[in-house]
Amino acid sequence: MKLTDFIEPKAVIANLQATDRNGVIREMVEALCKAGSLAEDDCDAVVRAIIARENQGSTGFGKGVAVPHVKHAKVPRIMSAVGRSESGIDFSALDRAPVYTVVILASPADNPDGHLHAMECIFRHLQRDNFRKFLRQAQTSDAIMDLIREVDEGGLG
């Protein structure tokens, strides 16, 4: 599985406007809705589910990255949005550091194996120091997608 299999290019936000965790989650899920990946009518339900999941334990795993995720009946296929914050967001990350890169993953409730494979793919790539560094420096959505394609092809060592 590759990141480009489920990241929605039209839901890549190079400069997140929200400054708090819940606002970022809403901004990113709304981007999936605007991109046509998620029905507008289902946007609020998915936002609430991701926030409820986040309240059970932070998905900020450290090193400036958070991966809020949810399995939900209203999600038609595995999809992801990527957001970059210039100033950093408090996600109650394990290392207590601000989060600069957020990857939201939403999967159908009846596809737990696909959700797990997508999570593994995201974490495998986000463990790479160069990928995290270049994501944080990317100034445009196109630059972020170029990095995602490059890492999918084995680049960024």
Task: Give mean pLDDT, residues 71-92.
Answer: 94
- Give the CATH H-level superfamily of domain 3-152: Mannitol-specific EII; Chain A (3.40.930.10)
With H, G, I as helix, E, B as strand and everything else as coil, classify residue 10: strand
Residue 47 has what pLDDT? 97
- Residue 148's region, left for phi above 0, alpha for psi from -120 to 50, else beta, is alpha
Residue 51 has what pLDDT? 95
Whole-structure pTM value: 0.92
Tens of pLDDT, residues 100-145: 999 999 999 999 999 999 999 999 999 999 999 999 999 999 999 9
| Number of CB atoms found within 10 A of residue 142's CB | 12
% of the chain beyond a pLDDT of 70? 99
Break the chain into its structural domains and give their ranges. Answer: 3-152
Task: Determine contact, residues 85/70, Cβ cutoff 8 Å.
Answer: no
Backbone angles phi, psi at 109, to 5 degrees: -60, -30
Residue 14 is given by DSSP the state S
Please calculate the CA angle 103-64-50 and round it to the nearest 5 degrees. Answer: 35
